[in-house]
């Protein structure tokens, strides 16, 4: 369970990295690929997204939580689940989530985690021989509640079969144990939920706290996320 400023300290080449950005990048990726989007290409800059837009990609994403004006969609899971996106290729750039994916690119395997695909992700991890690094995207290099809460949910699901090696994993596990009874309640009190409240996307926050809406595990193949 590491934040961007720490990931470079870990040899990810032999690990499965689970990228976590609950509000809302990885929740969107799971919801979109689980609803029929053909692929999602995470990119670092607005310019890269626009270049793919010229090739027919749907341009998606946000900065500071607000939709990038010239993009087709923002970063709401409800945008990604629109029927008209079925079969389409999407290019996305976000404040933290796509940056975390970029930092993970040398990993043996990069997969996407959210509450929406928790059980599917845990099943995938149980079949893997790799050590796993749960990468919490956080907010601009800082810790955030919702990503660590999800990492704790993963640790809780795996604890019978895996060693929680680090104190950060143990802390995430105990955080989840203390909040599991009402995830939406606690996520609604996070810093990012407060930032997003300015953009009137309360339903996004509620949705991103739902469990197991999709049975997919997006995986990075080359530069594209697919299922
Ligand atoms: C992020 O990258 O932190 C999220 O995408 C931000 C958001 O969607 O509000």
Token pair recorded at residue 59: 């341009």
Positive or negative torsion for Cα 23, 25, 27, 28: positive
Ligand 1 is surrounded, with C-beta below 6 A, by: 21, 23-25, 62, 65, 75, 94-97, 137, 196
Contact of 114 with 22, CB cutoff 8 Å: yes
Distance in Å, CA 163 to ligand 1 centroid? 30
Query: Measured at the alpha carbon of residue 83, what is the angle toward residues 227 and 64, in degrees to the nearest 5?
Result: 75
Per-residue pLDDT of the chain (227 residues; tens, 9 = 90+): 666 667 777 778 899 999 999 999 999 999 999 999 999 999 999 999 999 999 999 999 999 899 999 999 999 999 999 999 999 999 999 999 999 999 999 999 999 999 999 999 999 999 999 999 999 999 998 899 999 999 999 999 998 777 787 888 899 999 999 999 999 999 999 999 999 998 888 999 999 999 999 999 999 999 999 99
Ligand 1, pocket-test mutation among 19, 21, 74, most atoms within 8 A of CB: 21
State the pTM of this model: 0.95
Distance in Å, CA 168 to ligand 1 centroid? 22
């Amino acid at each position: 369970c590491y934040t961007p400023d720490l990931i470079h300290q870990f040899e990810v080449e032999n690990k499965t990295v689970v990228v976590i950005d609950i509000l809302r990048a990885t929740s969107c990726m799971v919801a979109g690929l689980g609803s029929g989007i053909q692929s999602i290409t995470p990119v670092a800059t607005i310019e890269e997204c626009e270049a793919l837009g010229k090739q027919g990609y749907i341009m998606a994403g946000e900065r500071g939580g607000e939709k990038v004006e010239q993009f087709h969609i923002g970063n709401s899971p409800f945008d990604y689940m629109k029927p008209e996106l079925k079969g389409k290729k999407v290019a996305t750039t976000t404040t933290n989530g796509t940056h975390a994916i970029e930092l993970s690119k040398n990993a043996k395997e990069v997969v996407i985690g959210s509450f929406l695909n928790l059980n599917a992700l845990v099943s995938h991890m149980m079949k893997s021989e790799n050590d796993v690094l749960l990468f919490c995207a956080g907010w601009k290099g800082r810790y955030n509640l919702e990503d660590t809460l999800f990492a704790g949910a993963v640790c809780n699901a795996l604890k019978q079969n895996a060693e929680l090696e680090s104190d950060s994993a143990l802390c995430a596990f105990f955080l989840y144990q203390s909040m599991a009874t009402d995830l939406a309640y606690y996520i609604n009190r996070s810093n990012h939920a407060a930032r997003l409240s300015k953009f009137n996307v309360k339903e996004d926050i509620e949705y991103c706290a739902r469990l197991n809406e999709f049975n997919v595990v997006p995986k990075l193949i080359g530069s594209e996320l697919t299922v």
